[in-house]
A = this chain, B = another copy of it.
Amino acid sequence: MSDTNAVVDALSWTCPAPLRDRPRVVMGHGGGGAMSAELVEQILLPALAGPEPAPLTDSAVVELGGARLAFSTDSFVVRPLFFPGGSIGDLAVNGTVNDLAMSGARAAFLSCGLILEEGVGIDTVTQVAEAIGAAARAADVRVVTGDTKVVEAGHGDGVYINTAGVGLVPAGADLRPDRVVPGDVVLLSGPIGLHGVAILSERENLAFESDVRSDCAALGGLVEAMLSVTTTNLHVLRDPTRGGLAASLNEIATAAGCGVVVQERAVPVPPSVAGACAMLGLDPMYVANEGKLVAFVAREHADEVLAAMRAHPLGAEAAIIGEAVADHPGMVVARTGLGGTRVVDMPLGEQLPRIC
């Protein structure tokens, strides 16, 4: 069976559920997969559209007062609030810093909106605020404006956080999936699945062989190191959070109109993650990360960008994991260790809800 046939067969397996007819919001609408995309594309974008149609992206690049700014927002509803390797406060800072970094921007200023549930301990609020402060100082970003609302007991969930951020996009950086062309090399900054498995093990009180800690980290410095090699030949960056590496690669493939081929064995999966995923029936490609990025780079600069990544603490285990191809546009396929091929679908929802 040729690869093409395998791909066509695989296509017919994708979920036929009539998502568009659901009358109510379900957890999957917040999972960063196909259902999230449908909610955005069918409901939110048409309603929010301004005079000029514009995508509603994770991070927008806008011009204001002569400055080229990246502007981004994220809300955080993770349970539990504190987990191995981080907390909702770390996520709230790093999530928005990373969204800006994916536009090439170094975050400069953050806003912080808290929705507190009546009855939550002041000590919990203090710990969360201290985590936000520590993460902001570590990422060299300033929290300059905020807002606090309180909802009645039973209507919230302790603490929800929203952050938004602005940063300056460096001259020459133009990171967009539609800049990807066949031949681009796919780089991954390190091992996948740590955040999702850490959350799951804490939430379900599962004891895996070894402790798995979230990889939650701010990627601004790593991106700066990559851009110092090449601004124009760095085509697109994504942080594979909700929906994991699979969602990020599918989004890029769709927007670029390219195919993507991933060498499965080249994708670093820590043994602890592989073990937990095997036990629970999860695919590491779909598990969330909070301190990783995937990059599509023109072939001529791939090795140099890889070297710059490996020289940075957050990219020490960076690897080339695949390439963009002209075949099967919009589709991601993985070459398995056994020499076979499988389609890496866009996830529908999220395997684990509330991971950020």
Contact A150–B30 (Cβ < 8 Å): yes
Contact A62–B109 (Cβ < 8 Å): yes
Instruction: Give A33-75 as 1s and 0s: 1 = Cβ < 8 Å from B's Cβ atoms.
Output: 0001001100110011111101011111010111111011111
> Is the C-beta of A142 less than 8 angstroms from some C-beta in chain B?
yes
A33 to chain B: closest CB distance in Å? Answer: 12
Given A23-B122, A111-B164, are A47 and B132 neighbors across the interface (CB < 8 Å)? yes
Residue in chain B with minimal CB distance to A29: B150
Contact B66–A66 (Cβ < 8 Å): yes
Residue in chain B with minimal CB distance to A49: B133
Residue in chain B with minimal CB distance to A242: B149
> Is the C-beta of A130 less than 8 angstroms from some C-beta in chain B?
yes
Residue in chain B with minimal CB distance to A137: B50
Contact A71–B113 (Cβ < 8 Å): no
Contact A145–B25 (Cβ < 8 Å): no
Contact B30–A71 (Cβ < 8 Å): no
Contact B29–A77 (Cβ < 8 Å): no
**In the docked arrangement, what's the CA distance between A117 and B75, Å?**
13
Contact A146–B71 (Cβ < 8 Å): no
Residues of B within 8 Å of A40, CB to CB, are 146, 148
Residues of B within 8 Å of A71, CB to CB, are 109, 111, 144-145, 166
Given A44-B129, A71-B166, A129-B44, are A142 and B50 neighbors across the interface (CB < 8 Å)? yes
**In the docked arrangement, what's the CA distance between A22 and B149, Å?**
17
A88 to chain B: closest CB distance in Å? Answer: 12
Residues of B within 8 Å of A132, CB to CB, are 47-48
**In the docked arrangement, what's the CA distance between A129 and B116, Å?**
23
Given A40-B148, A75-B113, A75-B114, are A47 and B126 neighbors across the interface (CB < 8 Å)? yes
A175 to chain B: closest CB distance in Å? Answer: 15
> Is the C-beta of A123 less than 8 angstroms from some C-beta in chain B?
yes
Residues of B within 8 Å of A118, CB to CB, are 24-27
Residues of B within 8 Å of A166, CB to CB, are 62, 64, 69, 71, 166
Residues of B within 8 Å of A270, CB to CB, are none
- Which one of B23, B50, B148 contacts A136 once the chains associate, using CB atoms below 8 Å? B50
Contact B146–A354 (Cβ < 8 Å): no
> Is the C-beta of A286 less than 8 angstroms from some C-beta in chain B?
no
**In the docked arrangement, what's the CA distance between A252 and B146, Å?**
18
> Is the C-beta of A209 less than 8 angstroms from some C-beta in chain B?
no
Stretch binding the partner chain, chosen from A153-161, A217-225, A295-303, A325-333 = A153-161
- Counting from the closest, the 10 A-B pairs by CB-CB distance are A65-B67, A30-B150, A164-B164, A73-B111, A47-B129, A162-B162, A60-B144, A75-B113, A60-B145, A67-B67
23 interchain pairs, CB-CB under 8 A: A25-B119, A25-B121, A30-B148, A30-B150, A47-B126, A48-B136, A50-B137, A51-B137, A58-B147, A62-B144, A64-B67, A64-B166, A64-B167, A65-B69, A71-B111, A73-B113, A73-B147, A75-B162, A77-B149, A77-B151, A155-B157, A156-B157, A164-B164
